[in-house]
Amino acid sequence: MAHSKIEWTEMTWNPVTGCNKVSTGCKYCYAEVMAKRLHAMGLEKYKNGFQLTLHEEELQKPYTWKKPQIVFVNSMSDLFHEKISVEFIQRVFQVMRENPQHVFQVLTKRADVLSYYDSEDWLEWQHNIWMGVSVENQNVTNRIELLKKTKAQVKFLSCEPLLGPLSDLDLNGIHWVIVGGESGRNARPMKEEWVQGIKEQCLCANVPFFFKQWGGINKKKSGRILEGKTWDSMPVHCV
């Protein structure tokens, strides 16, 4: 586990590292860049670079955390990668259930895999397991409907990197929406009206809205102020 600079979480926990690209939001994957950097630094955990790698030893870590935390699960991978066995995913879920003092935030672009596993009752949910899907543009909004079909008790959307407008979102059954622009040297632009459009939909649907960043080459300089304020709303289910 590591303290995180990601604005909407506190810690990261990576029982899996490595992944592969599945949609346009993956094009400039920060996790891939970071994994290659850590590999070059000689870190044992990243000896395989960005190849999918399971880390059995990580499954014991949450039992050692004394203070309740909000934890982003697999910031360096995707728990619902098709090459990760259902059995391993179930073990991760067991660890999360046995540590109810923590909130575990799971985020996937593979909503089809998530939906299938859930429909087969292979996933056992609990209040502290938040399930989210990435929605970078209108082309992948089907992920929202697949998420809604699951039995997760807290469901959220991560619209980052936001690459286009998202109109007519059906937010019924969604408990949280995060929006953020892409960062880094190759960052693709995000228009303010796209962000405002999502924010207005959230306000109308009474869904907590979190604006993470404008992004760009210097995301710290760009900041995260929207319409003169920061937007930091979280689900009421937060411990």
Q: What is the pTM of this model?
A: 0.96
CA distance 41 to 19: 19
Bigger pLDDT: 1 vs 96:
96
Write down the CATH number for the domain with range 2-222. 3.20.20
Side-chain half-sphere exposure of 217, counting CA atoms within 13 A: 1
* pLDDT at residue 238 is higher than 90: no
pLDDT score for 199: 98
Side-chain half-sphere exposure of 78, counting CA atoms within 13 A: 21
CA distance 21 to 98: 32
| Mean per-residue pLDDT, 129-151 | 98
**Percent of the chain having pLDDT more than 70?**
98
Residues 6+ apart with CB under 8 A from 142: 111
pLDDT score for 43: 96
pLDDT digits (tens, 9 = 90+) for 170-209: 999 999 999 999 999 999 999 999 999 999 999 999 999 9
| pLDDT band at residue 237 under the 50/70/90 scheme | low
* pLDDT at residue 3 is higher than 90: no
pLDDT digits (tens, 9 = 90+) for 223-235: 999 999 999 999 9
Q: Show me where the domains of the chain are located.
A: 2-222
| Mean per-residue pLDDT, 156-164 | 98
Pairing outcome for strands 11-13 and 70-73:
parallel
* pLDDT at residue 13 is higher than 90: yes
